[in-house]
Chain A
Amino acid sequence: MTTRLKGIGAHAVLLFFAATALFPLALVLLNSVKTNTEIVRNPLALPSTFTFENFVTAWTYGEFGTGFLNSVLLTGTTVVVVLTCSTLAGYVLAGKKIRSWPVVMVYLTMAMTVPVQLFVFPLYSIVAAVDLLDNPMVVGVIIAAINIPFATFLMRTFFLNVPRELEEAAQVDGVSTAQFVWHVLLPIVRPGLITVGVVVGLNAWNEFLISATFLQDPDQQTVTLGFLSMNGTFSTELGAMMAGALILIAPVLAIFVALQRYVVDGIASGSVKG
C-alpha cells in the first residue's frame, strides 16, 4: 500500500514539473487565437471566438517569410559544415591515424570551452573589415566553428565502434575507398550523423548573440530576430505576439519530437564521457 502511495506521489511530482515546463507554452497556444481585449481581460480564459488574424499580422510584420529563408540558409550552412568537418576529423582521431592525435584532442577540449564573448568583438571587426556582415551563411560558418569540437568528439566515439579489422579486410579485398565509405562506414555512423545534425541544427537555429550582432539588415535577419523586432511595435498587440511565438515554436517542437531519440541520446551520452 505504501509503495502504491509512493508511486502516486512520484507521478504527482513528475506531472507537476511537466505542467511547469508546459504552462507558458500552453498560454501561447491559448492566447494566439484571442483578440487583444480578450487577452487583457484574462489571459487564462478560454477563447470565446477564434481569430486567425493574429497569425497574418505576425507573419507580415515579423517578416517571417524572409526570416524563415535566412534561418534555413544559416542553419543549413552550419549543419553541412559541421557534419563534413567533424566526420572527417572524427574518423582520423578515432583511428589514431596521425601521430599528433593526442595534441589535437587536447586542443579541441580547450577550444570547446572558449566563450563566445572572448572572440566575438575582434571577429566582428574582422568580418566588418572584409565586408561580410549581414550574411546568414557567414554567421552559419561562425556557428559551425563553435560547434566543431563537440561534434568531432561525438563523431569520434561513433567511429571507435568501427572494428579496425573491417577496414583492413576491405583494403585487402580490393574494395575501393568510396565503396567502403558508402557501404560500410556510413551505415555504422549514421545515428551519429543524425544526432550531431539535429543538435547542431537546433543550436544554430536558436543562436542569438552572434546572429543579432552580425545580422543588422532586416532583409538578412533570421526568423527569431524578425520576431524580436516585432516586440518594439507590437508589445501591446499580445495576440499577434502569441501567434508569432506559436509560428516559431511549432516547427521546432515538431522536429524535436520526431527526432527526440537522437536529441536525448546525444545529450545523455555527451556528458557521460568521464
Chain B
Amino acid sequence: MTVTAVRPTTTPAPARRPARFRRRRTLINHLLIAPALLLSVGIVVIPGLLTAFTAFTDWSGVGLDANLVGLRNFREILADPVFGTALENNLRWVAMFLTIPAVLGLLTAWLLLRRRRTRTFYQVVYLMPYVLSPVVNALIWLSIIYNPNGGLVGTLNDIGLPVSAPLSSLTGAFYAAAAVDMWHYWGFLTVIYLGAMRQTPVDQVEAAIMDGADSWQVFRNVYLPSIRPALLLMAVMTVIFSFLAFDYIYLLTQGGPAHSSEVLGTYAYAFAFSAFQFGKASAVALVMSFFGLIASCVYTWMSRKQDD
C-alpha cells in the first residue's frame, strides 16, 4: 500500500515516516467514512432500537413519561380483530405482489430482450408511473378512475354497466388500492429482469439454440436459471416491502371502509398519530419488521446454499 513498496528510490525519508504517515492516513480515512455512519446510526439505528424498547411501554410519544408494561401491548393487539384483518391483508399483499408484477415484469423483459431499437422506449414508458409520487398516482386513480361521479367508474355506470365504486366497497377497496400500487410498480421489475437477462452468457444461449431448443425452452432452461439471483432478491424485497405497505392504502382508503383494507402499516400509524399510543404503534412496527427479518434470513440461507 505504501509508496515505498512501489518505487523505493523516490522516498528518501527516514524509516519512521511511513508509520506516522500511515497513521495519519488511517485517521483521515476514518473521518471520511464517519458522516455516512453517524447519520445512519443517529437517524435510523438508534430510533430503531428505541422502538424495540418502547414496544414494551405505555409511552404516549410526548415527553419521557413511560412505564414498562411488559407484553401488554402485544397481548392487546393480538386480541384486536383489526390486527387480524391487517395481517391477513398483508399476506394477501405478499401473494399478489409475488405473482402479478413478477409475471408482467418477466413477460415484458423477455419480449424486450431481442428488441434492441425499441427497448429503451418501452423501458422509459413502463417506468413512468414508477417515478411519479404515490400522492400523485393515488389522486389520479381516486379522482378520474375510481370516482363514481365523473371518473371512469361513473362513465361505466352511465352506459349501463353496474360497477360499484371500488373504494367504498368492503371487499373491493383493498384490491383497488393494491391495483394502483401494482400499476405503479411492475415496470420496475421489467427493468431489473431485463438487466439480469442481458447478463446471461451468449454462448449458453447459442448452445441451447444449436441443440434445437425453441424460444420457450431457451427461456425456461437458460434465462430463468441465469437470473435466479435477481428473482430471489426481488422476491425477498417484495416480501419485506409487502409487510411495510403504507402509502397507497393510506392515500386511497385510510384502511377503510370499516377497517376492511387495513394493513399493519396503516394500523400502526393510526395508533401513533391518531390515538397517541406510541407504545402500541411500536409493538406493531416490531411485528412488521419481524416478518421482514424472517424474509432476509431465508434469503441469506438460500443464497448460501446456492454457493455450496
Contacts and interface: CB of A to CB of B under 8 A. Distances in A.
Interface of A: 10, 13-14, 17-18, 20-22, 24-25, 27-28, 31, 36, 39-40, 42-44, 81, 84-86, 88-89, 91-93, 97-98, 104, 107-108, 111, 113-126, 128-129, 141-142, 144-146, 148-149, 152, 168, 171-172, 202, 205-206, 208-209, 213, 224-225, 227-228, 231, 235-236, 238, 241-242, 245, 248-249, 252-253, 256-257, 260, 263-264, 267-269, 271-274
Which of A115, A126, A241 is most buried by chain B, counting CB atoms within 10 A of its CB? A115
Which of B39, B62, B288 is most buried by chain A, counting CB atoms within 10 A of its CB? B39
B133 A14 contact: no
B253 to A, nearest CB: 13
Nearest to B6: A168
A13 B143 contact: no
Please provide the 10 A-B residue pairs with the shortest distance between their CB atoms, ordered closest to farther: A268-B195, A145-B43, A119-B47, A122-B50, A274-B229, A89-B36, A206-B133, A85-B36, A40-B150, A123-B47
Which of B128, B147, B232 is most buried by chain A, counting CB atoms within 10 A of its CB? B128
A104 B118 CA distance: 41
A43 B151 contact: yes
14 contacts: A22-B128, A24-B144, A89-B33, A98-B33, A114-B44, A114-B48, A117-B268, A148-B39, A172-B7, A227-B135, A249-B132, A252-B133, A256-B128, A271-B192
Interface of A is mostly: helix
Contacts of B127: 256, 260, 263-264, 267
Contacts of B50: 119, 122
B26 interface: yes
Contacts of A121: 47, 51, 54, 61, 268, 272, 278, 281-282, 285
Contacts of B265: 117
Contacts of B42: 145
Contact of B192 (A27, A148, A256, A268): A268
A145 B115 CA distance: 39
B139 A231 contact: yes
Interface of B: 3, 6-7, 10, 25-26, 29-30, 32-33, 35-37, 39-40, 42-45, 47-48, 50-51, 54, 61-63, 104, 107-108, 111-112, 115, 118, 120, 122-129, 131-137, 139-145, 147, 149-152, 154-155, 158, 183, 187-188, 191-192, 194-196, 199, 229-230, 232-234, 240, 243-244, 246-247, 251, 265, 268-269, 272-273, 278, 281-282, 285-286, 288-289, 292, 296, 303
A113 B229 contact: no
Given A20-B183, A121-B281, A271 B195 contact: yes
